[in-house]
Amino acid sequence: MTIQELRYLVALAEHRHFGRAAAACHVAQPSLSAGLKRLEEDLGARLFERSRRQVIPSQLGEQLVEQARVILFELERLEGMARSVRASLSGVFRLGTIPTVGPYLMPHVVEVLRTDHPELELHLVEQQTQELVAELRLGRLDAALLSPPLQEDGLTRVDLYREDFFLAAPVSHPLAQKESLRQREIRHEALLLLDEGHCLRDQILEICRTAASPARELLRGSSLETLRNMVAAGVGCTLLPALAVHPYGGVSALRENSPVRIVPFADPKPHRLISLYYRKGFSREESARDLSRWLKTHLPPSVSAKE
């Protein structure tokens, strides 16, 4: 029984498909199949029930998969300890990010991070909150950039920055003529919102409740850029976080002759918090903490670092 065979075992149990499991392990399918066959022969038992339509673990297979996860997690801790002796921010670090943060924050920081820490190999994964939390808990990610609140049991949270919201409106819209807005002024607006599953959608709905108005949804979009383009087409208004408006500080992402007008809110400004999450007892906690400290000192000026 080898560590690689245990990785094959866990991958096949999670993906229930030989091809996808092999891809997840970065090996050819025949190699994975042969490794699992050797494992079954060594144990003298079948670990999976195979058919043309599905692959599912046997009762013994499920028990071994759980134990294999423990072994692989402890191995990761051991490797992490060895890495931390050399340098905290070095080696492969798998960072998850939600779609409303990654495209706007990472281009600002990733080049400087590579210069400051050339031994760090940053792997970025962009998914919605629920998927990132699941990947984090399974150990497939080292840390994730998320927006609280969320279920934090078993996770450590480090707050990075506060990000204000702005109203994006067509130039012909009455609110586009204002220098600033109070939250209650959007209570009669039907808004363009992101699809279900995006935490930003939930945050905007909460802002609407704070404005003493039930949310009225005009249209759903899959990304902030979709919503921005719909605003430009005159369909309606939406709320955008600061980095989607001013990705590099004070220079707006929109041209002066843009069909979209960006209007700030008066105090108290609606905002969200962006935090770095990682597992408690994680072998690379020091790396995650150092990354959070580095990010705080390299944030764009359009957001406010949290102490």
What's the pLDDT tens digit per position in 26-67? 899 899 999 999 988 888 888 888 877 788 888 888 888 889
Report how far residue 47's alpha carbon sits from residue 65's, in angstroms, rounded to the nearest whole number.
9
Q: Is the pLDDT of residue 191 over 70?
A: yes
Confidence of residue 198 (pLDDT cuts 50, 70, 90): low
- Considering the chain, what percentage of its residues have pLDDT values greater than 70? 85
Q: Is the pLDDT of residue 157 over 90?
A: yes
Q: Indicate the average pLDDT of the chain.
A: 83
Distances 1 to 71, 78, 213, 233 between C-alpha atoms, Å = 12, 19, 61, 61
Q: Are 238 and 261 in contact (CB under 8 A)?
A: no
* More confident position, 196 or 286: 286
Report how far residue 286's alpha carbon sits from residue 96's, in angstroms, rounded to the nearest whole number.
17
Q: Are 32 and 53 in contact (CB under 8 A)?
A: no
pLDDT per residue as tens digits for the range 76-97: 877 766 655 455 788 889 999 9
The token pair that represents 152 in the structure block = 């934090």
Q: Is the pLDDT of residue 237 over 80?
A: yes
Distances 80 to 72, 86, 90, 240 between C-alpha atoms, Å = 12, 10, 10, 38
Confidence of residue 158 (pLDDT cuts 50, 70, 90): very high
Which residue in 15, 37, 33 sits closest to 24, CA to CA? 15
Q: Which domains does the chain have, with CATH numbers?
A: 3-84 (1.10.10.10), 87-161+272-305 (3.40.190.10), 163-271 (3.40.190.10)
Per-residue pLDDT, 207 = 65
Per-residue pLDDT, 254 = 47
Which pTM was predicted? 0.68
Confidence of residue 195 (pLDDT cuts 50, 70, 90): low
Report how far residue 194's alpha carbon sits from residue 217's, in angstroms, rounded to the nearest whole number.
10
